[in-house]
């Protein structure tokens, strides 16, 4: 497996070198909206520690990311009036991974509404900003 590249786009977001629509942060994890959402509220949860994917992440960091993903899924059910949640997590190119800092996708779903294809369309900044505010408030209220 290739080694971790500290110049991947999510590493730059974690260092504050690039912006994001943040919904949650603690000492070990950061969560922000996917800018090419497959459904409204599509969120990415990352460990702060460098990890390429499930193959090299520490079990404790992965467990913490899972805890944060659950918190976000529960909040997203109300914030986006969702009927369900899809969780996705890809590993290496062959596994569908495009950005090589581990991340878990939390995707709110409505009954009968298909997800858009991966990375198909950039959402408008004002829409993402409003959604991030709404989801962050729902997480903080839990
Ligand atoms: P994957 O590695 O296959 O899990 O896909 C990466 C996801 O990251 C994809 O859904 C699109 C999203 N994405 C790509 N670039 C950026 C970015 O600069 N900011 C944010 N927030 N999301 C991004």
Tens of pLDDT, residue by residue over 31-76, are: 999 999 999 999 999 999 999 999 999 999 999 999 999 999 999 9
Residue 1: inside a domain: no
Mean per-residue pLDDT for 82-104? 98
103 is catalytic: yes
Residue 94: inside a domain: yes
Residue 3: inside a domain: no
Looking at residue 31, its pLDDT comes to 98
In CATH, what number is assigned to the domain containing residue 26?
3.30.428.10
Give the pLDDT band (50/70/90) at residue 18.
very high
Mean per-residue pLDDT for 75-93? 98
| Average pLDDT across the chain, whole number | 98
Mean per-residue pLDDT for 98-120? 97
Residue nearest to atom 10 of ligand 1 (CA): 119
Ligand 1 atom index nearest CA of 37: 10
Two tokens at 74?
């529960």
Residue 99: inside a domain: yes
> How far does the centroid of ligand 1 lie from the alpha carbon of residue 34, in Å?
6
Residue nearest to atom 17 of ligand 1 (CA): 35
| CA 52/CA 100 separation, integer angstroms | 5
Residue 4: inside a domain: no
Q: Give me the domain span that covers residue 51.
A: 9-140
Mean per-residue pLDDT for 79-103? 98
> How far does the centroid of ligand 1 lie from the alpha carbon of residue 103, in Å?
9
Number of domains in the chain: 1
Residue 98: inside a domain: yes
Mean per-residue pLDDT for 117-135? 97
Residue 101: inside a domain: yes
Q: Is 98 in the pocket of ligand 1 (CB under 6 A)?
A: yes
Residue 2: inside a domain: no
Cross-strand pairs, 45:
31, 104
The percentage of residues in the chain with a pLDDT greater than 70, rounded to a whole number, is 100
Ligand 1 atom index nearest CA of 9: 18
Q: Are 115 and 38 in contact (CB under 8 A)?
A: yes
pLDDT at 1 over 90: no
Two tokens at 140?
């903080």
């Amino acid at each position: 497996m290739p080694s971790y590249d500290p110049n991947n786009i999510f590493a730059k977001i974690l260092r504050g070198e690039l912006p994001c629509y943040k919904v949650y942060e603690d000492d070990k994890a950061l969560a922000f909206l996917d800018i090419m959402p497959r459904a409204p509220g599509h969120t990415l949860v990352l460990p702060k520690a460098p990890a390429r994917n499930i193959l090299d992440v520490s079990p404790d960091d992965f467990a913490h990311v899972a805890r944060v993903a659950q918190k976000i899924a529960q909040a997203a059910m109300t914030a986006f009036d969702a009927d369900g949640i899809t969780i996705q997590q890809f590993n290496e190119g062959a596994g569908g991974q495009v950005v090589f800092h581990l991340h878990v996708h939390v995707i709110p779903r409505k009954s009968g509404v298909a997800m858009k294809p991966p990375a198909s369309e950039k959402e408008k900044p004002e829409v993402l900003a409003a959604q991030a505010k709404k989801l962050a408030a729902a997480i903080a209220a839990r």
